A and B are shown apart, each in its own frame.
Chain A
Amino acid sequence: MIREVVANVLCPFIGTIGYSVLYNVPRRYYLSCGMTGMAGWLVYLFVAKYTVLSAAVASFFGTVVVVLISRMLTVRLKCPVTVFLISGIFPLVPGAGVYYTAYYLVMEQLNLAAQRGLEAIKVAFGIVLGIAVVLAVPREFFQPGYWRQRKYGIRRK
């Protein structure tokens, strides 16, 4: 139990920060980057483990959460969305798929290699769709003022 919590909460958090160092993210954004990565991974894990949906769909939902959080943080912290997006999406990128594909190719288990390779591509497409969907949402929706004004029925100019 403890291992699971550590593995799934702490690891994506610290790991994401580790990689954001490689992309020279300013220090003040480490915490937000780590949180973004963690949230994405937790959603991915939940969907992949506790529902019947496939890994590709799970990574779609994980990505949606990552992009949503990134866009909210962007408005709040006034800095480019790339910072959170690239770091936060790291736990979902199918790096392991590359390894397994190469591994089974070498072992001449072509069926398994094709299966792993295809799965990695599917996961990649899940990420593609996730990013495309959330980026299509207009920018105003992420500004807090927009919803406050809607609530009180004030019409925007």
Chain B
Amino acid sequence: MKIQQVTENKRKYMDILLMADPQEDMIDRYLDQSDLFVLSEEGVIKTVCAVQVLKDRRCEIKNIATVKEEQGKGYGRNMIHYVCEHYSDRCDMMYVGTGNSRKTLGFYEKCGFVNSHILAGFFTDNYAEPIYEDGVQLVDMVYLKKKLESEIDVKKVVDLALEAGRILLKNGGEIFRVEETITRICNRFHVDQVDIFLLSHGIFVSVQSEGEEIYTRVKHVPLSGAHLGIVTEVNALSREISAGNVSIDAAMERLKEIDRHPPKKGYFQILGAGVGSGCFGYLLGATLKESIAAFCIGCLLQFWVLAAKRHKMSKIIINIAGGVLITTLAIAVKHLSIAGYLRMEGMIIGSIMPLVPGMAFVNAIREIADSDFLSGTVRMIDALLVFVYIAIGVGVTLSIYNNLFGGLSI
């Protein structure tokens, strides 16, 4: 037994649809806006069903019909079970309208539907010929409804939301974005009571589902490098999730895939740092030759940063050694220069830029502007310390150069 959604050439099934709704122009009214499902067994069509999605997370079964010889074999009930499952993530309530006959009402009641409302005189007003079922003329349309219980596991939802939050936070997302994403994902899967407590390096999520126990997860997210590409991707995914286009398992798969995105290739990063250094050197008043030197120094610096990060060295070492490296190289270039006199300032100012913690600084400000002082302070201290480390690296080297070799006063 197989159920498939049909998107093309829906009128092909008109014969079967007409069994449930005898007037063709009435079917045409909804067929185009409806999703059509076909149940078949060994290639033979048994049941078709048209469902229309309405506003406010409701949907309606407009038509369901089983081939005459196959009635009473449970195909119809299978179909209803399937569509209820299918729409449970998009809709909260399924409606069906039918004639007031004992047989059909009994069928829907067995499927879990209860009475909703009545459209008086629907069949006599809209249909040219009177319709009889079991010898009784149909007059009013009786609407039944069924609450769609989503089969979604609360724990799975929270795990998904937490994973999305972790990836965002790790790669430089802002606190409010992480919060928004977690709430969005939870709400999308009907987990409404969510409490989130976020730090710059930790996520606490606690949810309570209706009548069930409370589920809480804590995740430690160490401060690490930025990958704005991943932030962009997760953001796009969370938009898609809240639009209802992605199921929970598919979302988890995609998150794992996004998390595996490698950073830009090493040589590309080195080149980027070099180009940035050279350009900013020139911008801040270095000559062309000094800028070219700054380009080389910036490349070497990024080479060091990448190597140090691969060996998981601490920020203190990376930045102080980075400052030392820049200054030493600048001094070396100044002395070994074959290109005439080059000032150190231009080279150092340019090549210092890749070390400058622009991201931590900007994020810290934004956190504080959002009145999240805890995360803001942590990030601000992170940024300020990096500034201090760089200054220490540069200062120590300069003072050794000055005191041992008298270099600066020459």
Contacts and interface: CB of A to CB of B under 8 A. Distances in A.
Interface string B166-193: 0000001110010000000000000000
Nearest to B355: A95
B269 interface: yes
Contact of B272 (A22, A89, A98): A22
Interface stretch (A8-16, A49-57, A141-149): A8-16
B229 A89 contact: no
Contacts of B387: 98
B352 interface: yes
Contact of A80 (B173, B227, B370): B173
A74 B231 CA distance: 13
B226 A23 contact: yes
Contacts of A14: 275, 279
B263 A24 contact: yes
Nearest to A128: B365
Interface in A53-85: 78-80, 82-83, 85
Interface in A33-53: 41
A124 B19 CA distance: 75
B333 interface: no
Contacts of B268: 21
Contacts of A90: 276, 353, 356, 358
B275 A18 contact: yes
Contacts of B369: 128, 131-132, 135-136
Nearest to A19: B276
Given A89-B358, A99-B348, A101-B391, A15 B173 contact: no
The secondary structure that dominates the A interface is helix
Contact of B352 (A78, A99, A135): A99
B161 interface: no
Interface string A88-122: 01110101101111110111000000000000000
A7 interface: yes
Which of A15, A41, A93, A100 lies at the interface centre, i.e. has the most chain B CB atoms within 10 A of its CB? A15
Contacts of A98: 352, 356, 387, 390-391, 394
Given A41-B283, A89-B358, A106-B395, A23 B365 contact: no
The secondary structure that dominates the B interface is helix
B394 A24 contact: no
A19 B283 contact: no
Contacts of A23: 172, 226-228, 359
Interface residues of A, number: 50
Nearest to A81: B174
B398 A95 contact: no
Nearest to B261: A24
B173 A82 contact: yes
Given A99-B345, A106-B399, A15 B229 contact: no
B401 to A, nearest CB: 9
A15 B236 CA distance: 27
B322 interface: no
A7 B281 CA distance: 10
Nearest to B298: A18
Nearest to B326: A99
B274 interface: yes
Nearest to B230: A24
Nearest to B302: A22
B282 A24 contact: no
Contact of B279 (A15, A25, A124): A15
A17 to B, nearest CB: 8
Nearest to B295: A18
B362 to A, nearest CB: 5
A95 B355 CA distance: 9
Contacts of B282: 6-7, 11
B99 interface: no
Contacts of B394: 98-99, 102-103
A121 to B, nearest CB: 10
A138 interface: no
A106 B398 contact: yes
B231 A127 contact: no
B349 A19 contact: no
B361 interface: yes
A91 B269 CA distance: 18
25 contacts: A11-B282, A11-B283, A18-B273, A20-B272, A22-B269, A22-B272, A22-B273, A22-B302, A23-B226, A23-B359, A26-B228, A26-B232, A41-B283, A78-B239, A80-B177, A80-B228, A80-B231, A80-B232, A86-B359, A96-B352, A98-B394, A105-B395, A106-B398, A128-B368, A132-B365
Interface of A: 6-8, 10-12, 14-26, 29, 41, 78-80, 82-83, 85-86, 89-91, 93, 95-96, 98-103, 105-107, 124, 127-128, 131-132, 135-136
The 6 nearest A-B residue pairs measured at CB = A21-B272, A18-B276, A15-B279, A18-B275, A102-B395, A132-B369
Given A26-B228, A96-B349, 14 more contacts: A14-B275, A15-B275, A15-B276, A15-B279, A17-B272, A17-B275, A22-B276, A23-B359, A80-B231, A86-B358, A93-B358, A102-B391, A106-B399, A131-B362
